[in-house]
Amino acid sequence: MRPFSSLLVSALLLFQQTSFVFAVPPPASSSGGLKPRAGPAAGPKLVWVVTTLSVGDIKGAGGVLPRGNTGWSLWAHYHGAEDSVWVSATASEEASRMILSGKARTVMLVHAGPNCISDLETLGRHVPVDADAYSFLGGVRSGQIIRYMTMSKNNEVIRTVENEFYTPGFYEPLRASGGQYGLAGFPIDHVALTELPWSAAILQTGPAALKLFMDSIAESVGWHGAMPLIDKPGLVFTAGVNIFKDLEVIEKAENVALRASKSAKAFDQFVTAQDAYKSAESNLWRVARLVSDTTFLSREYYDRAWQMMLTAAKAMTNIQWGANTQQAAELLEKIHSDSKELQKLAEEHGMGEKATGERATSLTSSVMTNVQSLEELLDRLTDENEKNTMQVEELQKTLRFGKDSPQVRRLNEGIQWLGKYREGKEKAIERAVAKHDAIIQVQNPYLEKLKPMVHEAREVVKAIDAEVQSRETFARNMETLKHLAPEGSYVQTGALVALSLLSSIAVGGALTLASLKQAGVTMLGSGTMAQRIVLLAHRTLTSSADEFQRLVLNEMGVAVEDVAPDVPQVRGNTRLNLAVGQVELGAASQQLSPESPQAELAKRTKIYRWQDDDEDGKIVSRAVSLVMEQILAEAGRHGFELARRGMELAQAKKGHTSG
């Protein structure tokens, strides 16, 4: 066995409160000069650690911990750095008995791992290091300690205790690594940085090099992405209590949120609960690390903590989705409120006119914005629900692949796995599936409430659009009436009746023939003429321009035949003749303009102007009078003053030449 370097002993004595590791036997490369190598290599399996801590202190700390969490430089560690992530080691049992000689101490036989690197290969000739020297990055876990030897000040073995929590099944395949040049940590002006291999590693040193190295051996050493590598086992109790307290905060917030009268208050509770949930998640990860890394801790600590977190996750979903659903109800209420006010404005302006002004514009914008917000809310929550469902499907697929498959490796970061000593990865995947399933079960009822809300809001918009369209159609068709039908005629009066019928139907309601008929029965009764008026009213609101022109002509002819079937002159082509006669009568004493719709109509039908003494003209006048009288009789006390004035105009125009 190579004599132990006195300089190394002096260096190690600087760390009297820190563990030191000594490996047996020395590496084969120590006898032929320096042969640097980086990354995990065939180093020793068994090493020695020396500390002034008692066995009880070591167990209570979860192993042998370094003095710091940020000091990554091995060179600085050898020069007495107060903050160091290293625990020193040697490959010689003989050397281990010399360390801290003259002090009561504990000497441990430890199973090495890949975070135990060669000091000689890392620092080379620039630090007087013995080939037996090794250092653990992050410390030594209690589960890799094989036995403890308590030594007296006189260097006598007081007792030897086998570690009942040593887990050979986990550590047996592991051994120490070679050098890690990026972790040497020479000062910036050190000559080593001008030499290979350290000059080649100068761009990848420090914390980045530490993380890169630890990431590459993470599963073997229990690396979770940051120092400290080892937590004190007693923290499992603290973390569990903290999760319980966080759950109490979340459940209280849930109760307040579900009783809140406004969504804003419910969302405030979600913010409060979210802070507690983040804290609980952090504590659950700590419990997972401790149970994973500390073999003597029962996994029940984790199982109980996970059940509390599952309850917390469901409560968080309940708060968030409940608040969103309440917000949706508030949006829908505002949509209905604005649409009713729009109706009122529309009624004040009347049929054939558009409700104008800033208020109407503002109301319309409010309705459209709130409907869009409601749709976006449903889309967002639907996407979230579908994402959870897809994650469940993806997780279930991974259960059919091997543990080392790319699918499983891709999920490592998002799945809380207790490590291969505690459980198979399938167990961790099943837990993740159970969590997503539980959340989906909370989400689904809220989605079922939201869907009809959005449908109802869309129907309001459709009704408003239909109302606007009906008013525009009515206005256009009324212009047609001015050219094609005489004032006071059955046809024009029917269109005016449509205005009254429409005003009795709420904006946002369905402007259907059925709704108009119902309003017509209320206002006019159920007679034949009333039914014709209602039908015409519906057509006035819905027909295209061309359709409405044909409809006007037809309805005028039908009206004359209905009231004058006993007139001998009504025969053959009389319906059309009489209809055109009504058109001509409505033009009063004015001459037809060649461009007028009446002239075009007369040209197409080969009908020419009639004189007021024409026998057919008298029939038309009589028919118009009878029609108007019947309309007025059916209108009754509801009275349509416009229709009465129209009849008076028609009577006044008798005797004048139609143009």
pLDDT one-digit tens code per residue, 35-82: 333 444 468 999 999 999 999 999 888 899 999 999 999 999 998 898
Residue 574 has pLDDT above 70, yes or no: no
Domains of the chain, start order: 6-221 (3.90.210.10), 235-463 (no CATH), 485-652 (no CATH)
- Does 420 have pLDDT greater than 90? no
* pLDDT of res. 652: 45
Measuring CA to CA, which residue among 170, 172, 173, 190 is closest to residue 181? 190
pLDDT, position 38: 40
pLDDT of residue 612 exceeding 70, the answer is no
Look at residue 310 in the predicted model and tell me its pLDDT: 96
* 8 A C-beta contact, residue 137 and residue 88: no
Residue appearing with tokens 């149970």: 291
Which stretch of 139-153, 441-455, 571-585 has the lowest confidence by average pLDDT? Answer: 571-585
**Bridge pairing between strands 86-90 and 20-24:** parallel
Q: How much is the pLDDT for 245?
A: 97
If pLDDT is split at 50, 70 and 90, which confidence band does 532 have?
low
What average pLDDT does this structure show over 411-416?
A: 62
Q: Does residue 588 register a pLDDT over 90? A: no
Q: How many CA atoms lie less than 13 Å away from 106 in the CB half-sphere?
A: 24
Reading the block at residue 500, the tokens are 């009254």
Tell me which range, 170-179, 416-425, 582-591, 597-606, is most confidently predicted by mean pLDDT.
170-179
Q: Which amino acid is at 8?
A: L
**Would you place residue 494 in the very low, low, confident or very high pLDDT band (cuts 50, 70, 90)?**
low
pLDDT at 97: 81
**Range with the lowest mean pLDDT among 221-235, 424-438, 571-585?**
571-585
DSSP string, 100-132: TTTS-EEEEEEE--TTEEEHHHHHGGGS---TT
Q: Which of 227-241, 404-418, 504-518 has the lowest mean pLDDT?
A: 504-518
Number of residues that make up the chain: 659
Compare 540 and 500 and report the one with higher pLDDT. 540
* Residue 310: C-alpha distances to residues 63, 270, 439, 607 (Å): 31, 17, 9, 87
Comparing CA positions, the residue from 526, 505, 528, 500 lying closest to residue 515 is 505
Q: Which residues contact 385 (CB under 8 A, 6 or more apart)?
A: 440, 443, 444, 447
Tell me which amino acid residue 655 is.
G
Omega cis (within 30) before 36 = no
Question: 169-215: per-residue pLDDT in tens?
Answer: 888 899 999 999 999 999 988 888 889 998 888 777 889 999 999 99
Q: End-to-end alpha-carbon separation of the chain, Å?
A: 133
Asked if 69 and 159 count as a contact pair (C-beta separation under 8 A), the reply is: no
Tokens representing 561 are 């035949």
